Structure 1
């Protein structure tokens, strides 16, 4: 047990966070995991930050896997989910009249500064701050620039360390639930439960051919509010080492139940699956958010 900003938090004894508090030397990573390519991380300089606790930014995620499905969703509902102050800066992208886009992503962080854990992200895809919403053209522009924007609505995980750091340091909507991650021969499966341990819903993504992967770095930005109601901007850079995508809905299965997350997803009135993304191996650098400077003042 450690104390993190007044919160008692269990951590893996002898794990990376227990020993180094978000700042492990890359030489240690190389010794413990000689199979990991650390060349990208060597180009990034960490900085000491105070975020309710002392940390180092960016947080490094050395080896990870994820599956993502992007669906159309009810635009009215999406707008309701974004606080007015945030919506003044970023607005949901309209894919067609009355329909926006929602991304459902399951992550397995195999080896990172915070030790291993699983996480679910439900995010609204938005345009850039203070830019005209030109629908699909805004999205295509973001994809071309490899600079994406979104609003994180739900971010449950199975790590109390990740929860406390995420809520205090990143202003993210995190809470702890049990999550099972299964790596099967042909697919990845994540089982999500409610806070009492009852089954909620399951997602399964097929493994795709990643032999054509072109290693690239994509930035994902998020704007939200801190405890004082101030707007903050955070972002992560993702380096995909193995990645493939598909538009075939048979590659992704969403099995909803009657739990709170299932009920929430049903309220989005999901439509067509636009895209499925399979990332069996990627690296990530997560930066501590900064206050948004209001250029209108």
Structure 2
């Protein structure tokens, strides 16, 4: 891993800027907007977009017509159900064409423990990989075509044990890696559309806020720039290498999180991803994390990041995000 301290560029990004990878999807800032009501919030959406027309439940025939290059076979096996998550929606939420990169770093264990609420800490704890060190995962997503139109998202999460399972540190980590079933506690989750923010905060109890997230790439790397919402300047830069030896064997990966809902009840949620093109590396030179002086950079610096354990490059994946449920229901079923 390489940390850089490049001076913050005075770039004011549009809060609803679309991913530069979404070549076939109309960019939100170039199109007209409509308004929808979600849990009492008036939310701007892409006029004529999937959400404006179908509110998280578009027929797959529409997707096939509008995105004929997307393989919908996996989604045909999944059934959506109507749910009340503070507003009427459908679960799972479908993400048809997406890209992501993930860098996993060591971090100060005591700091990580202090950031998890006491109620959650009774169920899950940070995995200790060696004395005094836990793990955080920094993931940058470009959702190019999904039920919520298109948007970018950055996730900063603590890697934890699964609720109800013993925390065995490296043994638990190996077990999760082998089963492709990962658990965490989400610390930060900035997004660049108001639709993604409101749905995430109200419906999924996630720490989302609205800010600019720009994506650019060349033949060798991908760069995510995260804007500080207070100053309008780029605060965090994540530059990652495009790995060459990609596997095109589809694999299913589950990422789950534990948190607290708006009533104080412990809940869990999860997303299943179908990774269609993917590669990984442990070479620290494959990731460059640039931190400046904004709020997110300051937060990340306080984690005392150390060695990069793993980098994952996933230029093509699909996903199904399920509505949160009471944690006790999962514990009772096992």
- TM-score category by the smaller chain? over 0.9
1:242 correspondence with 2:261: no
**Structure-2 separation of matches of 1:184 and 1:28:** 32
Hey, what does 1:56 align to over in structure 2? 90
Q: Secondary structure at the match of 1:131?
A: coil
Q: Deviations over 1:103-137 (max 9, x none)?
A: 00111000000011011000000011132211111
Hey, what does 1:166 align to over in structure 2? 200
Which of 148, 152, 161 is equivalent to 1:127? 161
Q: Deviations over 1:142-167 (max 9, x none)?
A: 11112111000000110100110001
**Structure-2 separation of matches of 1:186 and 1:23:** 37
Which of 204, 210, 218 is equivalent to 1:184? 218
Is the 1:213–1:244 contact (alpha carbons within 8 Å) kept by the matching residues of 2? no
1:154 correspondence with 2:193: no
Deviates more, 1:205-214 or 1:279-288: 205-214
Deviation at 1:211, TM superposition (A): 3.4
**Structure-2 separation of matches of 1:89 and 1:16:** 38
Hey, what does 1:5 align to over in structure 2? 39
Provide TM-score, normalisation by structure 1.
Answer: 0.98
Hey, what does 1:232 align to over in structure 2? 267
Q: Secondary structure at the match of 1:172?
A: coil
Structure 1 portions without partners, runs of 5+: none
Hey, what does 1:38 align to over in structure 2? 72
Q: Deviations over 1:31-79 (max 9, x none)?
A: 0000001110000000000111110000000011111100000000000
Is the 1:86–1:224 contact (alpha carbons within 8 Å) kept by the matching residues of 2? yes
Deviation at 1:210, TM superposition (A): 4.3
Which of 82, 93, 100 is equivalent to 1:66? 100
Matches within 5 A, 1:94-105: 94-105=128-139
Is the 1:124–1:151 contact (alpha carbons within 8 Å) kept by the matching residues of 2? yes
Is the 1:64–1:110 contact (alpha carbons within 8 Å) kept by the matching residues of 2? yes
Deviation at 1:2, TM superposition (A): 1.3
**Structure-2 separation of matches of 1:143 and 1:263:** 30
Q: Deviations over 1:159-192 (max 9, x none)?
A: 1001100011100000001110113211111011
**Structure-2 separation of matches of 1:112 and 1:51:** 19
Provide TM-score, normalisation by structure 2.
Answer: 0.87
Q: Secondary structure at the match of 2:289?
A: strand
1:269 correspondence with 2:304: yes
**Structure-2 separation of matches of 1:113 and 1:280:** 19
**Structure-1 separation of matches of 2:148 and 2:245:** 27
Q: Which has the higher contact order (CA 8 A, sep 6+)?
A: 2
Deviation at 1:214, TM superposition (A): 2.4
1:17 correspondence with 2:45: no
Q: RMSD over aligned Cα, in angstroms?
A: 1.1
Q: Between Structure 1 and Structure 2, how many residues are aligned?
A: 296
1:201 correspondence with 2:228: no
Q: Secondary structure at the match of 1:288?
A: strand
Which of 146, 149, 160 is equivalent to 1:112? 146
